Copies of this chain bind each other. A is one copy, B any other.
Amino acid sequence: MGFEPSDGLRETLERIREFVDEELIPLEPRLLNEGFLAVEPELAAKREKVRALGLWAPFLPQKLGGMGMRLMDFAYVSEALGRTPIGHYAFHCQAPDVGNMELLHEHGSPEQQERFLHPLARGEVRSCFAMTEPAHAGSNPVWLGTTARSDGDDYVIDGHKWFTTAADGAAFTIVMAVTDPDAEPHARASQILVPLDAPGFSLVRNVSVMGHPGGGWASHAEVRFDGVRVPKTNRIGPEGGGFMLAQARLGPGRIHHAMRWMGVCDRVFDLMCRRAASREQAPGAVLGTKQLVQAMIAESRAEIDSTRLFVLHTAEQIDRHGPFGAKNEISLIKFHAAGVLQRVIDRALQVHGALGMTDDTPIAFWYREERAARIYDGPDEVHKISVAKRILRDYGVHR
């Protein structure tokens, strides 16, 4: 009854939580003040430790070196890791690699798995996913400018992408490109594997996002494909199946994100309470004795608890009925959880006062980075519209 982890999972979560607290959170000050590249070497060592502890890539099948968790269980893990910005990376379940691995595991050919999935699963290389385009609205996923023209046994790819997260230093990307412009909209594009050393590929820049171009895994690149030639065997799944694959990816990916957000909420809620309990507004009178601070704490608790149950419920629905059977829930948690995340971060920042603006806590980091939660994977507005249309279909509205 209810959503509670099994005893075995509970113990695993305990170990993960401990690792996050003792090994990762201590790296945060340097991460926040010096950037990801400054802590990358230390993180590499932490990743080896994680592997040694048997906690590597929890969502990945055991034969690929992971823990073989189902979505529901990984949801809890994602929450536990979300408490620090480097949790998922340390446990090798960071976006966009995690989505790429899922995709290749389920839809990759044996050759693709051998060449692209296995080194990625082992953590020897990184990957990226090139979908968003500066010239086309991400809110309309069937409208793309990037094309993959058939030329004998090859595709020749031309296009301009950005927010190709983690392209900097990646070995390969999966690119979404139009393979048949004359097909019906949802069957126009395919997903194709492209090694980043392929002639014609260029990383234009790491886009400066919220004040920083970032670097390595922690970056969002603008990239170009100028006549990049790859064999057709690099296509994942059938021609024209790109949108379908993207949708299938989004369901579990939404759970990963939303439970990561719950982890962020858990952490900033804790920081907010610590601050409220320790910061004196006057001698002897801590902030936590003020009603306006108390209200922020209570409202946050209610929003987090109800939303967390909703995300877990959605994970369970996906486990039972597949991502297409839980379409509405997947859209609903997208905007609902993102809104809760932003409000909780905002309150925690406010309770910290000037300190909340600094990089002495991770709150300001999440305040700016997670503003994107209401945009990526389709802006809130798009999800609201699409879920309402599906609901109204049952009432006979068909447009």
A: which residues have CB within 8 A of B?
A: 1-3, 32-33, 72, 132, 134, 136-140, 143, 162-163, 207-213, 273-274, 276-277, 279-283, 286-295, 297-299, 301-303, 305-307, 309-310, 313, 316, 328-329, 331-333, 335-336, 349-350, 353-360, 364-365, 367-368, 371-372, 374-376, 379-381, 383-385, 387-389, 391-392, 394-397, 399
User: How many Å from the CB of A264 to the closest CB on chain B?
Assistant: 17
Residue among B292, B297, B355, B365 making CB contact with A211, cutoff 8 Å: B365
Tally of this chain's copies: 4
Residues of B within 8 A of A208 (CB): 32-33, 358-360
Contacting residues, chain B, for A383 (C-beta < 8 A): 298
B274 and A137 within 8 A (CB)? no
> How far apart are the CA atoms of A213 and B210 in the complex, in Å?
14
Q: Is the CB of B281 within 8 A of A140?
A: yes
Distance between A326 CB and nearest chain B CB, rounded to angstroms: 12
A295 to B137 CA separation, bound complex (whole angstroms) = 19
Report which of B2, B331, B353, B396 forms a contact with A138, defined as CB distance below 8 A.
B353
A3 to B357, CA, bound (A): 35
- Residue from B72, B213, B292, B395 within 8 A of A274 (CB atoms): B395
**B2–A207 CB distance below 8 A:** no
Q: List 6 A-B contacts (CB under 8 A).
A: A209-B358, A274-B395, A291-B381, A294-B388, A306-B306, A354-B376
Whether the Cβ atoms of A294 and B384 lie closer than 8 Å is yes
Q: Establish whether residues A364 and B395, one from each chain, have CB atoms under 8 Å apart when the complex forms.
A: no
> Contacts A212-B211, A292-B291, A387-B298; is A282 near B143 (CB within 8 Å)?
yes
B281 touches A139 (CB 8 A): yes
Return the contact of A294 from the options B132, B140, B385 (Cβ within 8 A). B385
* Inter-chain contact B291/A353, CB cutoff 8 Å: no
Q: Which of these, B3, B301, B394, contacts A387 with CB under 8 Å? A: B301
Complex Cα distance A339/B363, Å?
A: 19
Say whether B276 contacts A392, CB under 8 Å.
Answer: yes
Choose from B355, B372, B397 the contact partner of A357 (Cβ within 8 Å): B372
How far apart are the CA atoms of A1 and B305 in the complex, in Å?
17
Contact B332–A301 (Cβ < 8 Å): yes
**Which 6 residue pairs spanning A and B have beta carbons closest together?**
A294-B388, A291-B291, A277-B395, A306-B310, A298-B384, A302-B336
User: Could you tell me the distance in whole angstroms from the C-beta of A389 to the nearest C-beta in chain B?
Assistant: 7
Nearest to A205 among chain B residues (CB) is: B33
Task: Report yes or no: A210 in contact with B209, Cβ–Cβ below 8 A.
Answer: no
Cβ distance A69 to chain B, nearest Cβ, rounded Å: 15
Determine the distance from Cα of A211 to Cα of B376 in the docked complex, in whole angstroms: 21
CB-CB nearest in chain B for A336: B302
- A303 to B162 CA separation, bound complex (whole angstroms): 34
In whole angstroms, how far apart are the Cα atoms of A282 and B139 in the complex? 9
B385 touching A291, Cβ below 8 Å: yes
A145 CB to nearest B CB, Å? 11
